[in-house]
Copies of this chain bind each other. A is one copy, B any other.
């Protein structure tokens, strides 16, 4: 875990140090009668490159400067108050959702936010300003994080601020599973699993869990339920980094599964490039479903919809990740040519357990994955 990501602590938190140092600098300038200003990295595609070696989108150096003037005074005040709120959250080891943060601004008199988009923008600015994640600033998304089952013990704290730990054995949930919390930075892991299998649909996850596929295959199952949330991506990333285990991804074979779900998990999202360093899983590999599987496994297909065709063409033209990997261009072109898509559940044609008895073991044994 990079030092910058160490969990903020009430005492001596490096994040709090950054917040205080910047605030003090601004304060001193104001007291000295000089105009204070803040420099934010530009948050759009013009300031992004695909960092091949690192495996994710990365920011270039372009910055915008916000100087305190009559027209910026409200935003300036809001930014300062939001920094203060973050400091308070870190010091009390509490968390606020973005929605909570918005409601907190209702007490800021003239600096109050009228719409949540205002407070969200300020949070994005602060995140980029300090080069840390919202989670490190103790703001959490209001979205749930996916489910886990299999050969993994998660080590968590008993409660907020507690030093007592709890151990969560993910082999011991019967037909249920472990719900990943919205903030995962403080979690510890113990596992001897051979790989992590990240799955698109709840249906396949349930089937594999129900039949304890994770026991036979010695692995950890993660249900992403569509495009993975930040918490899911970060959870898989931390687990894979710390335990040095490979990550295989099993999604529908359609442009959405490839260019949205898998791409976002592997290299991050386009419009939050300053975060991708943390919220991506560069070691992820694409297990399936592939267009070749249609032929190899005689799978029933569906015709591509217009939106699929549009999405595939768009990815071929504009997505730096797809444009970098010839294999992916070939897959999408093959898909467009065949005019069909396939779902994970299509293997049910050969029997409900074909997917776990035959398909997954064969693909993993072959070890040939898309990048």
Contact = CB atoms under 8 A, between A and B. Distances in A.
A75 interface: no
B202 A182 contact: yes
Interface string A193-230: 00000000111001100111000000000010100000
Contact of A106 (B178, B186, B210, B300): B300
Nearest to A215: B159
A104 interface: yes
Contacts of A100: 203, 207, 345, 348, 352
B181 A211 contact: no
28 contacts: A94-B210, A97-B207, A99-B345, A100-B203, A103-B300, A103-B345, A103-B349, A106-B300, A106-B349, A107-B349, A140-B203, A142-B203, A143-B202, A144-B225, A154-B174, A156-B173, A159-B210, A160-B210, A165-B174, A166-B173, A168-B173, A168-B174, A173-B179, A174-B181, A175-B183, A176-B181, A179-B179, A181-B206
A201 B140 CA distance: 13
Given A159-B212, A203-B99, A203-B142, A104 B179 contact: no
A180 interface: yes
Contact of A345 (B94, B97, B352): B97
A140 B206 contact: yes
B348 A104 contact: yes
A346 B100 CA distance: 7
Contacts of A96: 348, 352
A176 B160 contact: no
A95 interface: yes
B176 A168 contact: yes
Interface residues of A, number: 56
Contacts of A154: 174, 176
Nearest to A157: B174
A175 B156 contact: yes
Nearest to A186: B175
A72 interface: no
Contacts of A203: 97, 99-100, 140, 142
A79 interface: no
A327 to B, nearest CB: 27
A172 interface: yes
A158 interface: yes
A343 interface: yes
Contact of A142 (B107, B202, B347): B202
Contacts of A345: 97, 99-100, 103
